[in-house]
Chain A
Amino acid sequence: MDSTRATIAPATSARQIATAFEALIRSARQHARGLSLVAQRTLELWSDMPLLAIEIQPAGLIAEERVLVERNAREAAWTLPAFMAGVRAIGLGEDVTADDLAALAMELTHVQGTPEDIERLQSWLLADGAPGLKIAVQTSFVEVFEGQDIQINANVGAEHAQRMAFDAQATTLQAQELREGGALPEARMALELFSTGRASRGFELTVAERALVSQSVSASSPWFIAELDALLAQPALQQCTSLDRLAARLLRLLRHGVDAAVLERLVALHQHKASFAAQLQKTLHAAHMGAQLGAHLAPPLLHTPLFRALVAALPPEQRVELLLGVLERSEAPDVFEGLRVAAQAIGPHEIINMLPHDVLDAAHAAPLLRLLLAISVPPERITQIIAQLQPAAAVSAATSLPEIYLMELDRTLIRAIARLTPAQALALLPPLMARPELVIADILYTVLAEGRHSDWSHQLTEQCLMRALSKQALPEQRLIKLTRTRHAHTPTRVMSLRQLERFGDLDALRDAVRWRVRELFDPPEIANAMRTRRARLTDIAAVAKREEDPP
């Protein structure tokens, strides 16, 4: 979503969103082929203002107390019947998808002003037809009207109760009825027991029981399992199921938590041979089920054979999504430990094969390497993997490696750092620079000296330079070399010269600025800097001489 947002105009207005929503409904009316694209675009715009609720009024679409799309013969004609059906506002829910918006558009475009349409729309909304959306629904015109002719006395029931009470007194039970009535469970029951229990608060839910009830009504996994089981068992249910919407619903449930029972069912689903199961698997995979699972799997489950069974049952690309999803959370100690146990059980070689180097980015490489180290993958294999990674991933991974690996990988890392974009360098180098080992200084020095890096900011270059000098016995020598090497970037050379000047070692400065033929081919900034320092050194020497030999 972030990458998408970057392409959107920074200030999305409520009017743009309302206009896009109206366009979506027009597309639905025209059965436009690109309905899902229009829905996606509308969702992207709306996601910029996720709290915006568009009011539906007979006048049109309203938000922030302004009419955003006015109803007329061509536009927003649906608002009147929708209003009549009780629809008052439409907003985004947490898990909304473009498909939810498209489905709503399809329903709204079909609603005319007839009572049948109004009832159909309301029934669809009451049946949770638009699950990802927050739709405020009031009583429809038809519903409100139905209650108007019912004359209610607020003391309803009293008259009837009176009649019942008199009847009761007048009732003479037949002997047969009495005998049979006496056999009824309720006749045998002591109402005093209930009464006493109630008085002593014996039937009150304890705090723990309340929590259980609350958990029971909010737990999503039992419904997930029930729905999956029922669907697999009932061909009648399968026939009236839209696989896309079913997958969206199941994934929505997954987002609220994945427990052992859910995992078990998913494994069973992937082992199911029926064609419906196969189609559902395909739809779930297309909707990135693996990533959802990876993001929401409870950590204790990672230890279990169920997790390994699921990893084995998933097709390769889903397996990658799942493992990457878990890796993303592996900063948490319990997730990492769970993953370590699972990886050990699955086998290091298999894990490495499951995650090919081209799928690993900077965010995943570091935790993976940490994991491989934790399960004792041989050093040569680790260096081999890092050598194959994308530059950003390699640098990120190196951040968590022990020093011995860094020494082994110095040339690999120099090459990787050299290929980082300025943005990647800005994000990935500070953690690397924070490591205390000397090898880091050497690597950074080489990168600067060979001028292999891209256009880093002045600040980052300076940070790298300082890190390259830190803990060095002879930092001046590095600065001299950096100043004089023609491979280094010009700003780096100038920066090194200034740094050397700050050190105050005139001999080193003299070495750095000593004239040579190659200076003729240096960029003017370097040549000027050299010249200026030489002149200053000459002045200093002259002053010193005067002080030594007074006239």
Chain B
Amino acid sequence: MSAQDHELQDDLEIAIKTLQAIFVLMRTVMAHGTAHPLTHDSVRRVQEVFVVESPWALQWVRGGVFRDQILLELSDELYWRAATLSTALEHLGVNELSFKPTPSAEEWMALGEALALGALGPHDVLETRRPDRLGWRAIPNASWGEDAQEIDPEVFALIQIALSLRDVEAMRAEALHPWPWATSLRLLRRLERAAEAHRRAGTRALELAPEGWTVARRACSAAYQVVCVLQDARADHFLQRTCAHTALALALHGYDETLGVGVTEAAARCAPLLQGLGESARSGAPPHHMRVAVNLHLLASAPPTSWPGPLHLCAMLYELERQRRPERVSFALTLTDLMASLAQDMGTLHPPLWAKALIQAHDTYPPGAHVRLQDGRLGMIINATPAHIEALIDGQLHQLSPRAPLQLLSSMEVFLGG
């Protein structure tokens, strides 16, 4: 174990001890009030265990307790204590307690008193208190069960896409061999959740993300589109995940800074994925891993006529996202450009069935689409629903009627000055 690991262990131990001491403090206040000598003993006990030099925080998220985002390993007894504290904190509207060195006895006592009130039921005692060295805040979506707050699906989808982009970028930064199955599965699950919660918001997050169209972002987009189309086709989760994983692996192995290699070559580059499929499994490679490996094998070495239908979708999206960053120009293509290209090559380069399925999965004006208004002004679609269209025109967000006549423009036309 490295020195850093030792340090981490010590920190986590202090967090657990503090958790226990805070629990005892809360119970003592509840039983005896703040003036009792036993309560003062409890405060002293908290002060004794709380020996740190820098600020840190305890978070209660869906029943788990974290110190600075690292999950604490709790014994059975401690789990119940943490759960009791969690209930009290939820009643106070709080999911995180943060500490600066070193809270005074009065501050600890105030916390104990607030927790004791929270243990009895909802209370706003913390809204008026602002101690110097103790802080608290609510974390959205941190509660669970009946008390859980509803999170806006649009925001949830945006969070999931943001996390997915972060994960894919991290995967790109690491070596892709051996293939990080666990990480990629987790990010695919995020994409599925984003598409289930609010597909349009997910597409918007991908199309209008502030970063450029990196390999990682294109890979993420290809996988997301696969999920969207297969969700529309009511494919089961396992098929969605397998195909999205195939698209992701192809993209991460096959894309270059601009274009990249063709789908067959990309699949061949994924061959090392087949190594060590079952290393972490206790009963052979999980079926998902096998299916992804089989897909890549087919894409690399079997004629397209022998591919199962959804593999055509994977290959099509790989090729489309590959075009996203054309060589030797400084702009990237929008989703509308890609779909127009798809429509043009339908029946020649791309199977019409899956091309139509992809086009149908999106609204007429996908986020990021360039449009020309009837008065000649240029705009960019931010959000379009059957009820209204939100577009950026002359640097301002405008609400347009869905019946407003808009002319779609390609990226090239826009860069040529509309």
> A156-B208, A246-B284 are known contacts. Are A181 and B340 too (CB-CB below 8 A)?
no
Most central of B207, B241, B283, B309 by chain A CB within 10 Å = B283
> B205–A157 contact, CB under 8 A?
yes
B152 contact from A144, A154, A214, Cβ within 8 A: A154
> A195–B291 contact, CB under 8 A?
no
> A150-B162, A216-B310 are known contacts. Are A128 and B356 too (CB-CB below 8 A)?
no
A126 contact from B76, B162, B230, B241, Cβ within 8 A: B241
* SS class, residues of chain A in contact with chain B: helix
Cβ-based interface call for B408 (8 A): yes
Cβ-based interface call for A115 (8 A): yes
B71 contact from A115, A216, A223, Cβ within 8 A: A115
B interface, how many residues as a size bin?
35 or more
The residue on A at minimum CB distance from B151 is A147
Q: Collect the chain A residues with CB atoms within 8 Å of residue B301's CB.
A: 233
Which of chain A's residues 54-105 have a Cβ closer than 8 Å to chain B? 58, 71-73, 77, 80, 83-84, 103
A371 CB to nearest B CB, Å? 36
Cβ-based interface call for A237 (8 A): yes
> A127–B204 contact, CB under 8 A?
no
Cβ-based interface call for B186 (8 A): yes
Cβ-based interface call for B99 (8 A): no
Cβ-based interface call for B290 (8 A): yes
Interface membership of chain B positions 231-250, coded 1 if the CB is closer than 8 angstroms to chain A and 0 otherwise:
00111101101000000000
> A157-B208, A180-B329, A223-B308 are known contacts. Are A150 and B159 too (CB-CB below 8 A)?
yes
Cβ-based interface call for B225 (8 A): no
B163 contact from A71, A150, A223, A242, Cβ within 8 A: A150
Cα-based distance from A217 to B139 in the complex (angstroms): 39
Q: Collect the chain B residues with CB atoms within 8 Å of residue A129's CB.
A: 281, 283, 286-288
Interface membership of chain B positions 404-418, coded 1 if the CB is closer than 8 angstroms to chain A and 0 otherwise:
000111111111100
Interface membership of chain A positions 142-183, coded 1 if the CB is closer than 8 angstroms to chain B and 0 otherwise:
111111111010111111111011101001010011101110
Cβ-based interface call for B337 (8 A): yes
Cβ-based interface call for B11 (8 A): no
Q: Collect the chain A residues with CB atoms within 8 Å of residue B70's CB.
A: 115
A503 CB to nearest B CB, Å? 69
The residue on A at minimum CB distance from B284 is A242
Cβ-based interface call for B37 (8 A): no
Q: Collect the chain A residues with CB atoms within 8 Å of residue B141's CB.
A: 144, 147-148
Cα-based distance from A229 to B210 in the complex (angstroms): 44
> A237–B274 contact, CB under 8 A?
yes
B341 contact from A58, A141, A186, Cβ within 8 A: A186
> B340–A184 contact, CB under 8 A?
no
A interface, how many residues as a size bin?
35 or more
Which of chain A's residues 183-226 have a Cβ closer than 8 Å to chain B? 184-187, 189, 191-195, 197-199, 203-205, 209, 212-214, 216-219, 222-223, 225-226
> A203–B359 contact, CB under 8 A?
yes
Cα-based distance from A166 to B396 in the complex (angstroms): 11
Cα-based distance from A231 to B341 in the complex (angstroms): 36
Cβ-based interface call for A456 (8 A): no
Q: Collect the chain A residues with CB atoms within 8 Å of residue B337's CB.
A: 186, 191
7 additional A-B residue pairs with CB within 8 Å, beyond A58-B83, A189-B341: A144-B64, A155-B382, A157-B208, A173-B329, A194-B339, A205-B360, A226-B298
24 A-B residue contacts at CB 8 Å? A112-B73, A113-B73, A123-B181, A128-B241, A144-B142, A145-B69, A147-B160, A150-B163, A154-B155, A160-B208, A165-B380, A178-B416, A180-B328, A180-B329, A181-B326, A186-B411, A189-B410, A204-B360, A216-B310, A217-B234, A217-B236, A223-B308, A240-B277, A242-B283
Q: Chain A: residues with CB nearer than 8 A to chain B?
A: 58, 71-73, 77, 80, 83-84, 103, 106-107, 110, 112-115, 118-120, 122-124, 126-129, 131, 139, 141-150, 152, 154-162, 164-166, 168, 171, 173, 176-178, 180-182, 184-187, 189, 191-195, 197-199, 203-205, 209, 212-214, 216-219, 222-223, 225-227, 229-231, 233-234, 236-237, 239-242, 245-246, 249
